[in-house]
A and B are shown apart, each in its own frame.
Chain A
Amino acid sequence: MATLAHILGPKWHTALARARQSEGGRGKIFIVGFVGVLFWLGVFGVLYRVLSYFRGVEEIGALLAGKLLSLALLSFLSILLLSNVITALSSFFLAKDLDLLASAPVDWLNLYLAKLGETFLHSSWMVALMAVPIFTAYGVIYDGGWAFGFLAITAFLPILIVPGVLGTALTLILVNVFPARRTRDLLSIIAIGAAGGVVLLFRIIGPARRISESPRLHHRSSDSHVSVPTQ
């Protein structure tokens, strides 16, 4: 029986060959790597400052840091779910190698796992990379120590895997109702709609306006009036 590794072999070969053949060679890899590291440092820097501030706030500082982490993880979870649903359509139903694999005596479980792995990698790598500076900042600020890295990876893996499996399952159900291509179009529209909805929500909530309307800030503003020297 063809093993999972054998089924995934050509994908691995393809990735290696693409990396070897990429136009611009080492220069391109260096530029991409440099921009990536800059981005990581940027995210780390911003979060380092925010978490340093939180740590200095008595009583609610740790709570705020926890809420921020929950918010980040929840965002990752929703992004991954949508991304896995769309990617699963391509890898499970629209992939060009499906006929070749399905007409060979390949065990269905190995075929499913290979396609699930492909979906999971394509839709999760960016989120996984994004999580690195976030967890690093938390580890540094709250003195996580060496065990923190291991714990963070262990805790983060289910956040990557669960939406992968759920998204794939959702796609399998959707494709049983609609044709694969129509489902992809439908999901693309939903994704654009969701992104637009988030922007609209931010505009409606208007965080900046809310802060300026905050009674505490009004209070400070009247304080500053009072503190202006008078003659």
Chain B
Amino acid sequence: MIRLQGLTKRYGKFVAVNAIDLHVPRGELFGFLGPNGAGKTTTLRMIAGILRPSEGGITLGGDDVITEPMAAKARLGYIPDRPFVYEKLSGAEFLRFVAGLYNQDGTVVEKRIDELLELFELSVWKDELVESYSHGMRQKLIISSALIHRPECIVVDEPMVGLDPRGARLLKEIFREFVGRGGTVLMSTHTLEVAQAMCDRIAIIQQGNIVAYGTIDELREQTAAGDVSLEELFLKLTGGPAMRELAAILAD
């Protein structure tokens, strides 16, 4: 469903993403982990068609994001790490606007809006301006907007930020159900427990390169780490010993 081939992004001499190859098939929830500045968000923004890759290709369901952007983007629901909502629109107006961007309108959309707002417990706030929404409510509205056009795949950057435990649980269930129905989710997160609990496979990215890739068991095998948690694996792959050493020095 999502296929990256030699995906590279350069800013001058700096290589933010370095020739990444990745394939996320239908019906898989894929986790994208890495320390700050590793290139996660840049990769996701390229998949969403916001940034143009310096080299390489991206296809979504067989449609190339660069050469067939309209068809590729119609398959995608993108949830950014710092989402934007028009403050002076109501929740329903915002969802109607996003549906319109995907050429959807009429009673089907109205029904879908009601369904999504009900699901995220925002029905009472349907006609209130977004400026009166809390951070968590905005996040729920953004997730609803990514689902409004019934996408085939979802690319999500830090989905749990701002959600209360109930909202986070709901989102996990939604993603699992979405994947169960043949959808694809590519999720970037810092919350390793979430990744361990939810993701079918994981890629760990560091300095623009994928340093490990597979299921948790495969990652353990690759790193010869034994029966350790994802956090231990992550720290081992991304320079954990140096950090622990630093923490020990500071503690002294």
Chain A contact residues, CB within 8 Å of chain B: 1-2, 6-7, 9-10, 13-14, 17-18, 96-107
Residues of A within 8 A of B78 (CB): 99, 103
Q: In the complex where A10-B86, A14-B87, A17-B129 touch, is A105 in contact with B93 (Cβ < 8 A)?
A: no
Residues of B within 8 A of A105 (CB): 69-71, 73-74, 101-103
SS class, residues of chain A in contact with chain B = helix
Q: In the complex where A99-B84, A100-B84, A102-B49 touch, is A1 in contact with B89 (Cβ < 8 A)?
A: no
Question: From residue B131, how far is it (CB to closest CB) to chain A in Å?
Answer: 9
Q: Do residues B88 and A17 form an inter-chain contact, with CB atoms below 8 A?
A: yes
Q: In the complex where A99-B80, A99-B84, A100-B84 touch, is A2 in contact with B100 (Cβ < 8 A)?
A: yes
Residues of A within 8 A of B49 (CB): 102-103
Among A98, A99, A102, A104, point to the contact of B98 (Cβ < 8 A).
A104
Q: Do residues B88 and A13 form an inter-chain contact, with CB atoms below 8 A?
A: yes
Q: A13-B93, A101-B101 are in contact. List 16 more A-B contacts (CB 8 A).
A: A1-B103, A2-B102, A6-B100, A10-B94, A10-B97, A13-B86, A18-B88, A98-B50, A99-B45, A100-B84, A103-B49, A103-B76, A103-B80, A104-B73, A105-B69, A107-B70
Residues of B within 8 A of A100 (CB): 83-84, 98, 101
Question: From residue A8, how far is it (CB to closest CB) to chain B in Å?
Answer: 11
- Which residues of chain B from 76 to 127 have any CB-CB distance to chain A below 8 Å in the complex? 76, 78, 80, 83-84, 86-89, 93-94, 97-98, 100-103
Q: Do residues B70 and A6 form an inter-chain contact, with CB atoms below 8 A?
A: no
Q: Do residues A13 and B101 form an inter-chain contact, with CB atoms below 8 A?
A: no
Q: Residue B48 at the A interface, CB < 8 A?
A: yes
CB-nearest residue of chain B to A14: B88
Residues of A within 8 A of B98 (CB): 100, 104
CB-nearest residue of chain B to A179: B11
Q: In the complex where A105-B73, A107-B70 touch, is A96 in contact with B84 (Cβ < 8 A)?
A: yes
Residues of B within 8 A of A99 (CB): 45, 48, 50, 78, 80, 84
Q: In the complex where A13-B89, A103-B76, A105-B69 touch, is A97 in contact with B97 (Cβ < 8 A)?
A: no
Residues of A within 8 A of B73 (CB): 103-105
Residues of A within 8 A of B97 (CB): 6, 9-10
Question: From residue B101, how far is it (CB to closest CB) to chain A in Å?
Answer: 4
CB-nearest residue of chain A to B70: A105
Question: From residue B188, how far is it (CB to closest CB) to chain A in Å?
Answer: 15
Question: From residue B48, how far is it (CB to closest CB) to chain A in Å?
Answer: 4
Q: Do residues A103 and B48 form an inter-chain contact, with CB atoms below 8 A?
A: yes
Q: Do residues A102 and B50 form an inter-chain contact, with CB atoms below 8 A?
A: yes
A2 to B129, CA, bound (A): 23
Question: From residue A178, how far is it (CB to closest CB) to chain B in Å?
Answer: 11
Question: From residue A151, how far is it (CB to closest CB) to chain B in Å?
Answer: 38
Can you identify 17 A-B contacts, CB atoms within 8 angstroms? A1-B70, A1-B103, A2-B100, A9-B100, A10-B93, A10-B97, A98-B50, A99-B45, A99-B48, A102-B48, A104-B101, A104-B102, A105-B69, A105-B71, A105-B101, A105-B103, A107-B70
Residues of A within 8 A of B100 (CB): 2, 6, 9
Question: From residue A130, how far is it (CB to closest CB) to chain B in Å?
Answer: 28
Question: From residue A118, how far is it (CB to closest CB) to chain B in Å?
Answer: 13
A96 to B84, CA, bound (A): 6
Question: From residue B133, how far is it (CB to closest CB) to chain A in Å?
Answer: 15
Residues of B within 8 A of A102 (CB): 48-50
A104 to B155, CA, bound (A): 13
CB-nearest residue of chain B to A102: B50
A63 to B177, CA, bound (A): 78
CB-nearest residue of chain B to A9: B97
A107 to B89, CA, bound (A): 23
A204 to B138, CA, bound (A): 57
Q: Do residues A97 and B86 form an inter-chain contact, with CB atoms below 8 A?
A: yes
A207 to B43, CA, bound (A): 60
CB-nearest residue of chain B to A5: B100
Q: Do residues A106 and B129 form an inter-chain contact, with CB atoms below 8 A?
A: no
Residues of A within 8 A of B74 (CB): 105
Question: From residue A146, how far is it (CB to closest CB) to chain B in Å?
Answer: 39
A100 to B86, CA, bound (A): 10
Question: From residue B37, how far is it (CB to closest CB) to chain A in Å?
Answer: 17
- B74, B100, B129 pick with most chain A CB within 10 angstroms: B100
